[in-house]
Chain A
């Protein structure tokens, strides 16, 4: 059995000590090592599963459903809260959108290349409270806010700023108060994009 055939048999999904796997492993320390790491991941997933067990649906939902069950006729009228937007997905989507645009060498009118060595970038603190001086000085633009994960990324050699539209609900994950009825509205935002294609910061307009 070659290493390829060994991994094609998906040994990490087989029960420990499956006899057909032992034969290859006895002669192949490389696969032994990878399989051991795979087992570490599997053990980590069991730990994650155990930790996740604490997560339950909010208690209010049981009350709503019981009322629906009793009411029967009114059952179909329970409104969904219409907040169908994932903040995480919003940031990912925005970052990927920008990456795609960069790959295609498409640049919108608003995109402004900002070399990191330029004077206005001196004020940038990539690790906390990211702020970029605004050359335009528009009053309707808010401050730049570092995105979750930005602090774990290396400082980019060069950044670009791209204007995009996002649902207002995307602001929730950054600590803004957003009314439920406004969550679906689109807001304009400038996104700071590193030369590696990853979004670092955002500011919301108006």
Chain B
């Protein structure tokens, strides 16, 4: 076990593809929680998160999974697969109930936080309010917060996972933080134009 812990993801993947069960187990244990939490935070459903995580590792098992170490870290690649699976999930939901995600996010924002909770952030109530505010963010902002702030990917890895430039990751995070601040201050809180300036970014 300890030996596996010292190996890089790429080394484990190489051995995994040569049929090494221990390497597969080590890689799974190293990466499962973050991908599961990402899928959970994005879908709001433990069942979906479990299915996404299962599929991510099924892709990895398959020969020629498409991972290229030159293009980014394996963990970023795994988040990228999870993201594609989640997009498929959202497409299905949209098939059931025609609804634009941005609208869904804004409705949830209204439901999310009541009053000024900024000063509570050192307490568990404030953290719980912040969690609701994160879950209520429109998807494109929520995913950068989940990846960069909660799972602590660096901007380059997040960009690789999202398939967008690093600048887009930063600008979305900037906007997401402003939205979170706005929600945590409550509707009555002072609006600071500087913190809430609109940003331009592609979908």
Which chain B residues lie closer than 8 Å to A45 at the CB level?
Answer: 130, 134, 145, 149-150, 180
A residues neighboring B (CB under 8 Å): 3-4, 6-8, 10, 12-13, 30-31, 34, 37-38, 40-49, 51-53, 55-58, 61-62, 64-66, 68-70, 75-76, 78, 80-81, 83-90, 92-97, 99-100, 149, 152-153, 166-167, 186, 196-198
Q: How many residues of B contact A (CB 8 A)?
A: 70
**Interface majority SS on B: helix, strand, loop or mixed?**
helix
Chain A residues with Cβ below 8 Å from B79 are none
Taking a contact as CB atoms under 8 Å apart, the answer to whether B36 and A80 are in contact is: no
A38 vs B89: C-alpha distance when bound (angstroms): 33
Q: Are B108 and A81 in contact (CB under 8 A)?
A: no
B192 at interface by CB-CB < 8 Å: yes
Some 10 contacts from A to B, beta carbons below 8 A apart, are A6-B194, A7-B197, A51-B127, A56-B32, A78-B58, A83-B47, A84-B48, A92-B107, A99-B107, A167-B96
A181 CB, nearest partner CB in chain B, Å: 13
Q: Quick one: given A93-B104, A198-B111, are A49 and B149 in contact (CB under 8 Å)?
A: yes
- Contact between B134 and A48 (Cβ–Cβ < 8 Å)? yes
- Given A12-B174, A62-B32, A85-B93, A100-B37 contact (CB < 8 Å): no
Q: Are A83 and B127 in contact (CB under 8 A)?
A: no
Interface with A: B6-14, B38-46, B66-74, B157-165, which one?
Answer: B38-46
Interchain pairs with CB closer than 8 A, number: 195
Q: Are A96 and B45 in contact (CB under 8 A)?
A: no
Question: Contacts A41-B121, A93-B104 hold; do A88 and B44 have CB atoms under 8 A apart?
Answer: yes
Chain B nearest CB, measured from A177 CB (Å)? 15
Residues of A within 8 A of B61 (CB): 65, 68-69, 75
Residues of B within 8 A of A (CB): 21, 24-25, 28-29, 32-33, 35-37, 40, 43-51, 53-55, 57-58, 61-62, 89, 92-93, 96-100, 103-104, 107-108, 110-111, 114, 118, 121-122, 126-127, 130-131, 134-135, 145, 149-152, 170-171, 173-174, 177, 180-181, 184-185, 192-195, 197
How far apart sit A80 and B53, CA to CA, in the bound complex (Å)?
Answer: 11
A138 to B24, CA, bound (A): 57
A84-B93, A85-B96, A198-B107 given; 5 more Cβ-contact pairs under 8 Å: A13-B174, A30-B194, A37-B181, A87-B44, A99-B107
Question: Chain B residue with minimal CB distance to A147?
Answer: B111
Q: Per a CB cutoff under 8 Å, which of A13, A62, A149 touches B28? A: A62
Closest chain A CB from B59 CB (angstroms): 11
Q: Is the beta-carbon distance between B54 and A83 smaller than 8 angstroms?
A: no
Contact partners of B107 in chain A: CB under 8 A? 92, 95-96, 99, 197-198
Is B57 a contact of A65 with CB atoms below 8 Å?
yes
Contacting residues, chain A, for B195 (C-beta < 8 A): 7, 34, 37-38
